[in-house]
């Protein structure tokens, strides 16, 4: 089989953290294991990390480990019974007070939400499945109208489209998690909800303080980051096209264009680019992907992504191994077409780069 150039990142979770399953994923083609520090304890992550290192050594396969920091993610608080129902047209309160949620009110992990929002602002919950509109506020509460209802579970993500929050890019939890990751020996660290190059530099200062030199991947999840993408690319070693949260705050029809732009700019600056979120989402429950998903993966590769990432498909899905195998098959086919069609590399900005790329292209054409 033709050797695959595109790398595959697998998110590790309950469905894939056992030694047996990790071995299968490595043999199936996993190049990098992603440890999501939004969930789990340091000890749980450490055990998984050690399993990966041990298996990679015994199988003689290079497998990297990427630590994904939670970042300033805003979530709903705890709810009595675990969930409640939001009905369109009703009033609902979001409070900064530490309370147990119940019908009509829920707390949030971000106390500054009261100051950041005003009448008329939209609040999206659970990846946009539910929407609220702010009617008014006092010192501790936001009174909202439910625009789109649904079942609200605790610890669900809250997005505030168009709002610049005061929450720091690197939280206290992130710093504690980063220290734990460095002690383990992680190979890459991904910073979430990057808004500007300052966020990346903040993480790099913390890495320096810890005496670590680890490549930083900036996750592009905020429309604000798109406006400062060039500066962000200059500050980091790579970016992740994180389409989940980006797709909540950006209109769905704009995401594909934004994705192509991000990949193109990363290629031009010779920075690593990872395309992520819902790439083979249906394989979380089904053994084969939809044709649209296969096209999505292939087109990302044809556009120039270096890495494709699996999230829920491998962390909680029913078919983690089949998903990696499918991702590999799609990648190899896309790469074959990429070469056959004679796609050119992005234009370079330096003479030495142009000579190097010409030499590489000539070698490829000669089959060397």
CA–CA separation, 107 and 80 (whole Å):
11
CA–CA separation, 200 and 191 (whole Å):
7
pLDDT of 169 > 90? The answer is no
Rounded mean pLDDT of the chain?
A: 93
**Which residues are marked as active site?**
34, 75, 219, 277
Q: How many domains does the chain have?
A: 2
| Structure tokens, 263 | 């990949």
Question: Do 131 and 36 share a structural domain?
Answer: no
Mean pLDDT along residues 44-53: 99
pLDDT at 342: 47
Question: Do 271 and 151 share a structural domain?
Answer: no
pLDDT of 346 > 60? The answer is no
| Digit-coded pLDDT (tens) for 224-266 | 999 999 999 999 999 999 998 899 989 889 999 999 999 999 9
Question: Do 197 and 136 share a structural domain?
Answer: no
Q: Identify whether the C-beta of residue 76 lies closer than 8 Å to the C-beta of residue 156.
A: yes
Q: Taking the model in full, what pTM does it have?
A: 0.88
CA–CA separation, 66 and 192 (whole Å):
13
Question: Do 335 and 244 share a structural domain?
Answer: yes
User: Is 359 a domain residue?
Assistant: no
User: Is 144 a domain residue?
Assistant: yes
Cα diameter, the chain: 70
pLDDT at 207: 98
Question: Do 120 and 39 share a structural domain?
Answer: no
Q: Identify whether the C-beta of residue 263 lies closer than 8 Å to the C-beta of residue 305.
A: yes
Question: Do 236 and 113 share a structural domain?
Answer: no
Domain of 208? 7-71+169-341
Q: Which DSSP category does 170 fall into?
A: S
pLDDT of 51 > 80? The answer is yes
CATH of the domain at 120: 2.40.33.10
Q: What are phi and psi of 317, to 5 degrees?
A: -70, 165
Q: How many CB atoms lie within 10 A of CB 309?
A: 26
User: Is 30 a domain residue?
Assistant: yes
Higher pLDDT, 188 or 355: 188
Question: Do 12 and 104 share a structural domain?
Answer: no
Question: Do 184 and 58 share a structural domain?
Answer: yes
Question: Do 181 and 283 share a structural domain?
Answer: yes
Question: Do 104 and 189 share a structural domain?
Answer: no
CATH of the domain at 306: 3.20.20.60
pLDDT at 323: 99
Residue where a domain terminates, one of 124, 159, 194: 159
Question: Do 315 and 254 share a structural domain?
Answer: yes
User: Is 98 a domain residue?
Assistant: yes
| Digit-coded pLDDT (tens) for 257-312 | 999 999 999 999 999 999 999 999 999 999 999 999 999 999 999 999 999 999 99
């Amino acid at each position: 089989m033709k050797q695959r150039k595109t790398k595959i990142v697998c998110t590790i979770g309950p469905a894939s953290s056992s030694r047996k399953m990790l071995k299968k994923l490595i043999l199936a083609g996993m190049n990098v294991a992603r440890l999501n520090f939004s969930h789990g304890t340091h000890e749980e992550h450490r055990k998984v990390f050690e399993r990966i290192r041990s298996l990679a050594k015994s199988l003689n396969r290079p497998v990297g480990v990427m630590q994904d920091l939670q970042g300033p993610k805003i979530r709903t608080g705890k709810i009595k019974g675990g969930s409640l129902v939001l009905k369109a047209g009703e009033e609902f309160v979001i409070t900064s007070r530490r309370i147990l949620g119940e019908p009509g009110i829920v707390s949030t992990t971000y106390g500054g939400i009261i100051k950041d929002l005003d009448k008329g602002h939209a609040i999206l919950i659970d990846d946009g499945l539910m929407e609220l509109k702010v009617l008014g506020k006092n010192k501790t509460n936001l009174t909202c109208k439910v625009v789109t209802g649904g079942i609200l579970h605790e610890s669900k993500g809250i997005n505030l489209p168009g709002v610049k929050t005061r929450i720091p890019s690197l939280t206290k939890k992130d710093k504690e998690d980063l220290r734990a990751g460095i002690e383990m020996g992680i190979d890459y660290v991904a910073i979430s909800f990057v808004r500007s190059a300052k966020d990346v530099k903040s993480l790099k200062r913390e890495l320096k303080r810890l005496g670590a030199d680890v490549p930083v991947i900036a996750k592009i999840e905020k429309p604000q980051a798109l406006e400062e993408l060039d500066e962000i690319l200059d500050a980091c070693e790579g970016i992740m096209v994180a389409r989940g949260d980006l797709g909540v705050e950006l209109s769905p029809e704009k995401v594909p264009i934004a994705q192509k732009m991000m990949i193109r700019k990363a290629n031009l600056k010779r920075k690593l680019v990872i395309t992520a979120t819902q790439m083979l989402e249906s394989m979380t429950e089904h053994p084969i992907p939809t044709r649209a998903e296969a096209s999505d993966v292939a087109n990302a590769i044809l556009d120039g992504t270096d890495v494709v990432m699996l999230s829920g498909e491998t962390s909680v899905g029913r078919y983690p191994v089949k998903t990696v195998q499918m991702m590999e098959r799609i990648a190899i086919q896309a790469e074959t077409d990429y070469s056959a069609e004679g796609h050119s590399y992005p234009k370079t900005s330096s003479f030495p780069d142009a000579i190097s790329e010409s030499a590489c292209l000539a070698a490829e054409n000669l089959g060397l």
